[in-house]
Amino acid sequence: MSDQPILKVEKLTQIYPTAAGPITVLHEVSFALGAGESLAIVGPSGSGKTTLLGLCAGLDRPSGGDVAIAGRSIGGLSEDERAKVRNEQVGFVFQNFQLIPTLTALENVLVPLELRGESGREPEARALLARVGLGAREAHYPIQLSGGEQQRVALARAFINAPKILFCDEPTGNLDGATSHAMVDLIFGLNKELGTTLVLVTHDPELAKKCGRVLRLRDGRVVEDSEVRTGLTG
Amino acid sequence: MNFVLKMAWRDSRMARRRLVLFSLSIVLGVTALVAIGSFSANLQRAIDDQSKALLGADLAVSSRSAPTPEADAFLAGLDGERAGEITFSSMVVFPSADNQTRLVTVRGIEGGYPFYGDVKTSPAGGYARLAQGDVVVVEETLMKQFGLKAGDPLKLGEKVFTIAGGLEQLPGDSAAVATLSPRVLVARSALAETGLLGRGSLVRYRAYFKFAPGFDVERFVEQKRERFRELRLGVDTVEERRKELGQALQNVQGFLSLVGFVALVLGAIGVASAIHVYVRQKITTVAVLRCLGASAWQSFAVYLVQGLALGLLGALAGAAVGVMVQLALPSLVKGLLPFDVEFFVSWAAVGRGLVAGVMVGGLFTLLPLLAVRRVSPLVAIRSAFAERTGGDPLRWGVYVGIVAAVTGFAMWQTQHWTWGLGFTAALLVSFGVLAAAARGVAWAARRFMPKRLPYVWRQGVANLHRPNNRTVLLLLSLGLGTFLLLTLTLTRETLLSQIRTSEDGARPNLLFFDIQDDQFEPLKVLLAAQGVPEQASAPIVTMRLLSLKGRTVTELLKDDTVHIPTWTLRREYRSTYRGELSNTETVTAGRFVGRVTDADTVIPISVEEGLAKDMQLGLGDAVEFDVQGVPMKARVESLRRVDWKRMSPNFFVVFPEGVLEAAPKFFVVAAKAADATESARVQQAVVSAFPNVSALDLALVIKTLDGIFSKVQFVVQFMSLFTVATGVIVLVGAVLTGRFQRVRETVLLRTLGASQAQLMQIQLVEYAVLGVLGALVGGVLAYVANAALAVWVFKAPVILPAMPLAGAVVVVTGLTVATGWLSGRGITRQPPLEVLRQES
C-alpha cells in the first residue's frame, strides 16, 4: 500500500428523506485504498452497496462524512467540480454498460477525452479497443454489439483517461459465464497493467475473491472488512 | 464548445428524421411572418414609388358644397395646373340590359386629371374619349354584372351616353371601395344635360393641382392650413395619402402578422412538447455524460444546440416557404389595393421571421431542456434517480422571457403597447382556458370512467389521463385552430345578421332619396300604383353649422385645444322636421318637442346621442345653423338613440314642425318590395319617371357587404389556416411522440393477444374524444370571443348559431382521427419483435 491513499472514505453517511421519515442508507462507513489496490463491496440487495459506490465516485453528496480522491476532498466541491474530478481521475464500468446509443464504439471511448477538449487521440482509443478485442468493431453502434462487446467498449472508455481509480457496478451482472470470465480477466489485467485502483460492487463471490479486499455491508453498516491478500491484486 | 457541437451532432444521428419533424411545427408560423412581412415591404415600396399616382395630383382640395366665390378665387390664385371633379350618387339605367337600374357614384371630370398615373380601361383608351362629352366609362364589375360591352347605351338622368369601356383602375382609388358604389366617369361638361345637378343631390367637389417640379406642397399646405379651414376646404397631399396608406398598411400587416404569430407560438409549444419527450429519452445518456465528467452546462448545451438547430432549421424552411407564399398573396388581395405591386423579396422581413422563429422556438425549447441541467449522474447506476426536484428559478426566468418576447413582438407589430398587451393577455387566456379544459378532461376521464364501457373505450379514454398523455398539447392545438376559424365565421355572421334583421318582416327594404318637393306626391302615387306603397318618408333640409355653444365654427376649427371631429363641424347637415319620433328612435335625455308655433324664438331640436357626444353637446346647449342663407338659433332639447341599421329615414338632427316648412327641401321615401323582381321593377319605374331620384336597395347592400366581408375573411382565413395547419403538424408530431412513448405498452398488449383492430380502436377512441373536445372547447371560446366583440366592438346583438359549432366538431374530429390513424398505423401492423427492435 502506498503512503497516499487514492480513495479515502471517512464516516460516510447517507440519509434519504421519505414520507415515512428519514432512512439511513449508509452509516459512518470508513476505509482507504492505495494505488493499485482492489476492493469488492458486497452485501445483500438494499445494503447500501450502490449508494456507497455512487458517493465514492462523487455522483452524489453525502449527508455526512467525506470522500477524498487522490488526496482531494470532494465533499465540498460543486457538482461541476466533482464532474471534473471524475473526468480526470475516475473510470466507470456499469452493470448495464451505459454506452451512449447514438455514438459508435470509437466515439464512445473518446467521450472522456473530448469532454476535456482533447483531440487527435483516436490512435489511443483504437489501441484500447484492440486491447479489449474490438479493433474491428470501432465503427459499430452499441445496438450492433453483443452485451459482452458493449461491456468491453465500456471498459476501454473507462481506461481512456488513464484513471487513478476505476469504479465497477456489477460489471458482469448482465453477462453470461464465458463472457463474464473474459471481462473479469480484462478488468484485472488492465488494473494490474496500469496500476489503477479498483472498486467494484458485486454479488458474485468469485469475483469478490479476486479483489485484494472485501467490504461487506448490511443495512448500511460495514459488517466485515477483510483483506483477501496483501499487496497488489493479481 | 467543440465537444458540445460534436456531441450534439453525433447524438442527433438516430433521431434526425424525428427532429426534422419537430422543427416542421414552427415552419408555418415563420412562413406566415415572412410572407406578410415581405409582401408588406413590396406594398410599402409600391406606395413610395407610386405615391403621386395615389392621389393623381400634387394636391387635392375638396368641399362638400360648391366652393364659395371666395374659395374659388383662392383656388384660382394657386400657381399650378388645375383639374376638377364633382362626385354624386345617382341611378343609371342600362337600356341594353332590359332597362335595369343601379345606384352608382358619378364622377364628372374636367381638365387633365389624373396628372400622375394611368387610368386603365377595357378596351384601352376609353378614358381619353370622355372629352367627347357623350361617352362614359363604367366600373368593370358593373359591366360584367349587367352583361354590358363598349358601345352600349347608359342613361344618366335625362341623357343617354355611350359606354366607352370598363374602368379597371383609377389612380388613388381601390376597387374594393368602388364595390360599395360602382363608379361611372363622365366629362363634367356633359352633366348639365343630365338635369341631375342642382336638384338636391349631395355633391362633393374636388379640385386637383399639379405644381412645377420642386414646389414644396407640404410646406405650402402647412402655411395655408388656416386659410383652407376658414374656407371649409379639405386638403389632401401626396405625403398625407402616403402616410394614411402606410398607416393602414401597418395596421393590416400588424393584424395579419399577429395571426401568423399565433401559428408560431402554437408551433413552438409543439416543438417544446416534442423536445420534452425527446429529453426524457435522453436522461440516461445525460447521466452517463455526467459520470464521465461532463458539467451540467456541457450536457445541457448538447441538447440546447440541438434545440436551437431545430429552431433554425424550421425557421429557414419557413422563410423559404414564406417567400413562395408571398408570390401567391397579390392574387389574394387583388382588387383591394389601389396600386400595382412589384414582387421582390424583403431580406429584412426574412431576417425578422428568422429571428422570431429562432427566438420563440428557442425560448419554448428551453423549458423542457432546463431539466437536463438537473439530471443526476446517479441515474447511470440507479434509474430511480431522475432529476433533482424542487423549484427551478431559471424556469420562471424562461416564462418571463416568453411573455416578454410575445408581448414585445405584438407591440412591435401593432405599434401600440395596449394592443400588444391585449394580444398577449388574449393569448394567455386562450391558452390558459384550453390547458385548464385539458386538465379538467384528464381529471374527468380518470374520475368518471364508467367501468361497464368496452375495453377499447376504457383504454382509449384512459390514455387521456395516463402518464405521458398528450391531452394538453392536442387540446391546445385543436382548440386554438377551431377558435380562430370559428371566431372569423361568427364575426362575419354577427355583422351580416345585423343587417339581415332589417330585411325581415314588413320593414322597408327600398329607400328613395333626392326626391324634389314637386316630385314627392307623384312618387307616392307611383309607388302605390306599383303595389309598394310608401311606408315612411321625411323631408330633408340642408344646412350648415354656424356656431356651437356661442363659438363660431371658424373659431372652433382654428382652436387646437378643441377636440371636436372636424367632419361634424364642416359637414352639410341633412336634417328633417317632424311632429313625433319615428319607430327607429328613442329619446334618451330631455323632452322631444314636435311642434313650435313661434318660429322667431330659439328652436328646440333633438340631436342623435352619438353626434352629441362627439360634439360635446348636452341638453340646453346652443347651436346655430345656416339654413341655406338664413341663420337659425336652436337649443338641444332632447337626445335620441337611433337604430341606424334600420332602412328608414334617420337623421342626426331633427327639428320640430312649424319652422323649416318653407325652406327649400327634398324628400326621402322608404318602401317595402316583396322580392328582388318587384324591387327591380319599382326602381325602373321610379327612375324612368323621375331620373334624378336614387334608390338604395337593401338586398344589394347586403350582397355588396357580404362580398367585401368574404374577400376580407378570405385573406384573414388564409392567414389563420397557417395556425390550423400548424395544429395539424403539432398533432402529427404529438401522435408520433406518443407512439415512441407508448410503443412498449402497445407491443405488450400485442404480446398479450390484442388484435390489430383493438389497438387501432383504442387509438381512434382517444383521438375522437380529443377531436370532439378540442372543437367544443375552441368553439365555446369562439362564441365567447364573438359575443365580446358583438357587445363591445360592433354593438350588435349576440348570435349563437348552432351550425358552425356542429360543423367544427365534425371537421375537427374527422381531421384528428384521420391524422391519428395515418400517423399511428405502422405501429399496430408490425410484429412486436420488429417494433421493439426499431424503437429501442
Distances (CA, A) of B217 to B79, B111, B116, B206, B609: 11, 20, 15, 17, 39
Structural contact between residues A39 and A213, judged by C-beta atoms closer than 8 angstroms: yes
Q: Which of A84, A86, A116 sits opposite B291 (nearest CB)?
A: A86
Return the percent helix, strand and coil in chain A, to nearest 5: 35, 25, 40
Q: Is this model's pTM higher than 0.80 or not? A: no
Indicate if the alpha-carbon torsion angle B44, B49, B50, B54 is positive or negative: positive
Q: Model confidence over B137-189: pLDDT tens digits?
A: 998 888 888 889 999 999 998 899 999 999 888 876 765 566 667 899 999 99
Distances (CA, A) of B111 to A150, B72, B86, B711: 92, 16, 12, 35
pLDDT (mean) for B227-244: 83
A15: closest CA among A88, A50, A64? Answer: A64
Contact status of A79 with chain B (Cβ, < 8 Å): yes
Distance CA B170, CA A133 (A): 85
Q: Which of A94, A102, A115 sits opposite B294 (nearest CB)?
A: A115
Q: Do the Cβ atoms of A53 and B10 come within 8 Å?
A: no
Q: How confident is the model at residue B248 (pLDDT cuts 50, 70, 90)?
A: confident
| Chain B residues in contact with A57 (beta carbon < 8 A) | 291
List Cβ neighbours of A121 (8 Å cut-off, separation of 6 or more): A110, A113, A160
Least confident among A123-137, B615-629, B742-756: B742-756
| Chain A residues in contact with B288 (beta carbon < 8 A) | 94, 98-100
The 8-class DSSP code of residue B131 comes to G
Is it the case that residue B824 has pLDDT exceeding 70?
Answer: no
Q: Model confidence over B309-364: pLDDT tens digits?
A: 888 999 999 999 998 888 877 777 666 666 677 778 889 889 989 998 998 888 98
pLDDT recorded at residue B161: 94
| Chain B residues in contact with A117 (beta carbon < 8 A) | 2-3
**C-alpha A7 chain-centroid distance:** 12
Q: Is B56 left (phi over 0), alpha (psi -120 to 50) or beta?
A: left
Return the higher-pLDDT residue of B251 and B587: B587
Compute the C-alpha angle B665/B671/B676, nearest 5°. Answer: 130
Instruction: Provide the Cα torsion B55, B60, B66, B67; round to 10°.
Output: 180
Q: How confident is the model at residue B744 (pLDDT cuts 50, 70, 90)?
A: low
pLDDT (mean) for B87-103: 87
How close is the nearest chain B Cα to the Cα of A91, in Å?
Answer: 7
pLDDT recorded at residue B625: 92
Structural contact between residues B668 and B511, judged by C-beta atoms closer than 8 angstroms: yes
Percent of chain B with pLDDT over 70: 90
Q: How confident is the model at residue A234 (pLDDT cuts 50, 70, 90)?
A: very low
The full DSSP string for A156-216 is HHHHTT--SEEEEESTTTTS-HHHHHHHHHHHHHHHHHHT-EEEEE-S-HHHHHTSSEEEE
Contact status of A100 with chain B (Cβ, < 8 Å): yes
pLDDT recorded at residue B198: 66
Return the residue of A nearest to B283 by Cα: A100
Q: Do the Cβ atoms of A92 and B291 come within 8 Å?
A: yes
CB pairs under 8 A between A and B: 91
Q: How confident is the model at residue B747 (pLDDT cuts 50, 70, 90)?
A: low
Q: How confident is the model at residue A230 (pLDDT cuts 50, 70, 90)?
A: very low
Q: What ipTM describes this predicted complex?
A: 0.81
State which amino acid sits at residue B315. Answer: A
Structural contact between residues A182 and A213, judged by C-beta atoms closer than 8 angstroms: no
- Cis omega before residue B123 (within 30°)? yes
pLDDT recorded at residue A9: 93
Bridge partners, A199 (sequence order): A39, A167
Residues from B in contact with A at Cβ < 8 Å: 2-3, 6-7, 10-15, 284-285, 287-298, 376-378, 380-382, 840
Q: How confident is the model at residue A30 (pLDDT cuts 50, 70, 90)?
A: very high
Distances (CA, A) of B208 to B55, B63, B233, B329: 9, 12, 13, 33
Q: Model confidence over B782-803: pLDDT tens digits?
A: 898 888 888 887 777 788 888 8
B254: Cα within 13 Å, side-chain hemisphere: 20
Contact status of A170 with chain B (Cβ, < 8 Å): no
Distance CA A177, CA B144 (A): 91
Is it the case that residue B837 has pLDDT exceeding 50?
Answer: no
State which amino acid sits at residue A163. Answer: P
State which amino acid sits at residue B471. Answer: T
Contact status of A53 with chain B (Cβ, < 8 Å): yes
How many residues does this entry show for chain A? Answer: 234
Percent of chain B with pLDDT over 90: 16
Least confident among B41-55, B178-192, B216-230, B802-816: B41-55
Return the residue of B nearest to A87 by Cα: B293
Q: Do the Cβ atoms of B378 and A92 come within 8 Å?
A: no
pLDDT recorded at residue B502: 54
Q: Which of A79, A83, A100 sits opposite B285 (nearest CB)?
A: A100
Bridge partners, B187 (sequence order): B109
**Rg of chain A's alpha carbons, rounded to an integer?**
17
Q: Model confidence over B527-559: pLDDT tens digits?
A: 999 888 888 888 989 888 899 998 988 888 878
Q: Model confidence over B280-301: pLDDT tens digits?
A: 888 889 999 988 988 888 899 9
How close is the nearest chain B Cα to the Cα of A53, in Å?
Answer: 9
Bridge partners, B205 (sequence order): B63, B86
A32: closest CA among A60, A2, A54, A58? Answer: A2
pLDDT recorded at residue A231: 39
Contact status of A174 with chain B (Cβ, < 8 Å): no
Q: Do the Cβ atoms of A111 and B289 come within 8 Å?
A: yes
Q: Which three cell numbers stand for residue A125?
A: 482509443
Q: Model confidence over B650-686: pLDDT tens digits?
A: 899 999 998 888 888 888 898 888 887 888 888 888 8
pLDDT recorded at residue B175: 59
Q: Do the Cβ atoms of B296 and A50 come within 8 Å?
A: no
Q: Model confidence over B384-438: pLDDT tens digits?
A: 554 555 678 888 899 999 999 989 888 887 777 888 888 888 888 888 888 898 8
Contact status of A147 with chain B (Cβ, < 8 Å): no
pLDDT recorded at residue B748: 65
**C-alpha A38 chain-centroid distance:** 11
pLDDT recorded at residue B36: 85
Distance CA B82, CA B263 (A): 51
User: Mean pLDDT across chain B, nearest whole number?
Assistant: 83
Contact status of A194 with chain B (Cβ, < 8 Å): no
Q: Model confidence over B179-216: pLDDT tens digits?
A: 667 899 999 999 888 888 765 567 889 999 999 888 88
Structural contact between residues B556 and B526, judged by C-beta atoms closer than 8 angstroms: no
Q: Which of A53, A86, A117 sits opposite B292 (nearest CB)?
A: A86
Contact status of A57 with chain B (Cβ, < 8 Å): yes
How close is the nearest chain B Cα to the Cα of A230, in Å?
Answer: 30
How close is the nearest chain B Cα to the Cα of A133, in Å?
Answer: 22
Distance CA B591, CA B587 (A): 7
